Amino acid sequence: MNKLTPGWNRRNCTKRADCIDCDIRKSALFSTLSEAELIYLVQPVLTFQHEAHIRLYEEGEAGSHAYTVRKGIIKLVKTIPNGEQRIVRLASRSDFIGLEILLAQPYRHTAISITPIEICKIPVEVLKGLDERNPSFSQQLMTRWQKNVDDAESVITDLSTGKAASRLAHLILRYFSDGLAEVWNSPARDDIASMLGVTTETASRLMAEFKREGLISEEHGRIAIQDFVALKSIADD
């Protein structure tokens, strides 16, 4: 299966998006829109499904679409001059990615699915139209933007500061508290490493250690927290 090119075709596009009956509408970007506005919206918005390891867009690319995540997890990656990659954010259910195209600016990240995903693909013109005619929508946009700032800054304080064990504990706790999963479908070890700014080996060692110590358990790649309190105290170390 070609991991580079997402197929924006009939096979992946289940349907025209059903924004009015959307089950994440109240938590998603369009929460404040009226039904009339949603009908305007519904026209050019399509829902797609993709498997894991699909690249939605590339850092530096001048894009024309943003995406609402309905299912699955997408990593937003930045490439560092020396060739390494760092994951700066994870997007999941009801997150909105690619906001920057609204400012006619290129994508800031490379977006890659790390699980099977379901997403809504929204043309920038639709966003601009809504922004112009609806004040509550631009309020929504600002809230999303601030969330992006908050997320990025918590990556600085929680996942980039302190010892590796503390950072990993933060990462695991965040996954669950964010409701990313009841049972965490664990990312690959090298993705964990790239979120924490450590090597794959260190990520692997620590995950193995956490399992040995009974802090977490793992079955078929699914993580479950076993000792919440202990994880929290490691995180705050």
Binding site for a copy of itself (CB under 8 A): 78, 80-82, 84, 86, 88, 99-100, 102-103, 105, 108, 131-132, 135, 138-139, 141-143, 145-146, 148-150, 152-153, 155-157, 160-162, 197, 235-237
> What is the number of alpha carbons within 13 Å of residue 37 lying toward its C-beta?
18
Nearer to a copy of itself, 99 or 216 (CB): 99
Kindly tell me which of 24 and 188 has the beta carbon lying closer to DNA.
188
Are 173 and 165 in contact, with CB atoms under 8 Å apart?
Answer: no
Nearer to a copy of itself, 14 or 146 (CB): 146
Instruction: State the binding partner of 165 from a copy of itself, DNA, none, CB within 5 to 8 A by kind.
Output: DNA
In the numeric block, which tokens belong to residue 170? Answer: 């933060």
CB of 162 to a copy of itself, least distance (A): 7
Contact 31, 140 (CB under 8 A): yes
Min dist CB 194 to DNA, Å, is 11
Q: Which is nearer to DNA, 138 or 202 (CB)?
A: 202
Contact residues: DNA, CB under 7 A:
1, 163-165, 188-190, 197-202, 204-205, 207-208, 211-212, 218, 220-221
Minimum CB–partner distance for residue 143 and a copy of itself (Å): 6
CB of 115 to a copy of itself, least distance (A): 23
Nearer to DNA, 102 or 225 (CB): 225
Q: How far apart are CA 91 and CA 76, in angstroms?
A: 8
CB of 23 to a copy of itself, least distance (A): 25
